[in-house]
């Protein structure tokens, strides 16, 4: 799916950004197109975080062959220690497009680097954000970290679910 984020507050305004179905420039990527201080807040769902483990034919189209230093430079696994800002990783457990281990490798690298981040695995979900629950978690994450407002306590809030209130 991709990443959505907002630029640092020192910029003129916050600009949402999105990348889909390819390498994501999260707040930890070291490539020159998006240095690690580009985003203050980012969400990645079903992300491909290291192009050396994705469908290599796809990456060859835009990163060239043979594998070179550009692959490591754009790897969120290799650059996890550079994380700045807030990050939510959403992993659809049964993703048939991007190997779920791509996200788990980033999770492991972030833990090894002692970085704070949020992680949500959606059991049984295929490639995407994880349905309504993943959408709500993404939205709440942005509300909390971009607007500085605590989202509603959804366990205590009466809301419409499938046409009825619960």
What is the DSSP track for 64-132? -SS--HHHHHT-TTTTGGG--SEEEEEEETT-SSS-THHHHHHHHHHHHTT---EEEEETT--SSS-HH
In 36-71, which positions are buried (b, 16+ CB within 10 angstroms) versus exposed (e)? bebbbbbbbbbbbbbbebbeeeebeeebeeeeeeeb
For the residues 124-143, what does the mean pLDDT come to? 95
- For the stretch 42-67, pLDDT in tens is 999 998 888 777 776 677 777 777 77
pLDDT at 18: 43
Q: What does the DSSP 8-state code read for residue 143?
A: I
- Give Cα 10 to chain centroid, integer Å: 22
Q: What does the DSSP 8-state code read for residue 144?
A: I
pLDDT at 69: 85
Q: Which segment, 4-13, 18-27, 112-121, is predicted with the most confidence on average?
A: 112-121
pLDDT at 165: 47
User: For residues 164 and 133, which has the higher predicted lDDT (pLDDT)?
Assistant: 133
The β-bridge relationship of strands 39-45 and 2-7 is antiparallel
Distance CA 4, CA 24 (A): 9
pLDDT at 19: 40
33 CB-near residues (< 8 Å, 6+ apart)? 25
pLDDT band at 30 (very low <50, low <70, confident <90, very high): very low
For the residues 145-157, what does the mean pLDDT come to? 92
pLDDT at 163: 53
The encoded tokens of residue 28 equal 């930890």
Report pTM. 0.76
Indicate whether 31 pLDDT > 60.
Answer: no
Gyration radius (Cα) of the chain, Å: 16
Q: What percent of the chain has pLDDT over 70?
A: 71
């Amino acid at each position: 799916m991709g990443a959505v984020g907002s630029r640092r507050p020192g910029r003129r305004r916050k600009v949402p950004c999105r990348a889909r179905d390819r390498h994501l420039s999260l707040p930890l990527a070291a490539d020159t197109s998006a240095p690690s201080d580009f985003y203050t807040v980012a969400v990645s769902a079903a992300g491909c975080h290291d192009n050396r483990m994705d469908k290599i034919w796809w990456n060859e189209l835009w990163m060239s062959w043979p594998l070179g230093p550009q692959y490591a430079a754009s790897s969120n696994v290799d650059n996890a220690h550079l994380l700045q800002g807030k990050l939510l990783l959403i992993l659809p457990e049964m993703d048939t497009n991007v190997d779920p281990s791509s996200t788990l490798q980033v999770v492991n690298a972030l833990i090894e680097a002692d970085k704070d981040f949020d992680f949500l695995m959606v059991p049984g979900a295929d490639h995407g954000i994880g349905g309504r629950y993943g959408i709500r978690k993404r939205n709440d994450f942005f509300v909390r970290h971009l607007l500085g407002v605590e989202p509603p306590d959804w366990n205590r809030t009466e809301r419409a679910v499938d046409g009825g209130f619960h």
